[in-house]
């Protein structure tokens, strides 16, 4: 339980309340902690490249409509 932060700068990214089990080997979250927690840019349809909102460290992707409920995203 707690807050997940950027490994490079310590910026707060996700809450453990938004974490859920997914078939991928990485932690999965339904939402960011705050609107400025991450920056996003389209990489391909249905997937956004996600970086730390403070330092730009690469965090992976946001997969649109791939969350645990219909219409939710997966980070």
Whether 74 is in a domain gets the answer no
Q: CATH number for the domain including 29?
A: 2.170.150.20
User: Rounded CA gap, 10 and 45, in Å?
Assistant: 30
pLDDT at 65: 92
For the record, the structure tokens of 37 come out as 């927690």
- What pTM, to 2 d.p., does this model score? 0.87
Report which DSSP code applies to 46.
T
pLDDT (tens digit per residue) in 38-50: 999 999 999 999 9
Residue 14: domain span = 3-63
pLDDT (tens digit per residue) in 1-39: 899 999 999 999 999 999 998 888 888 999 999 999 999
Q: How many domains does the chain have?
A: 1
């Amino acid at each position: 339980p707690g807050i997940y932060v950027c490994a490079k700068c310590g910026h707060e990214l996700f809450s453990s309340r938004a974490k859920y089990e997914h078939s991928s080997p990485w932690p999965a979250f339904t939402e960011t902690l705050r609107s400025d927690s991450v920056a996003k840019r389209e990489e391909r349809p249905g997937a956004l490249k996600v970086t730390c909102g403070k330092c730009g460290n690469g965090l992976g992707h946001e997969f649109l409509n791939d969350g645990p409920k219909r219409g939710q995203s997966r980070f």
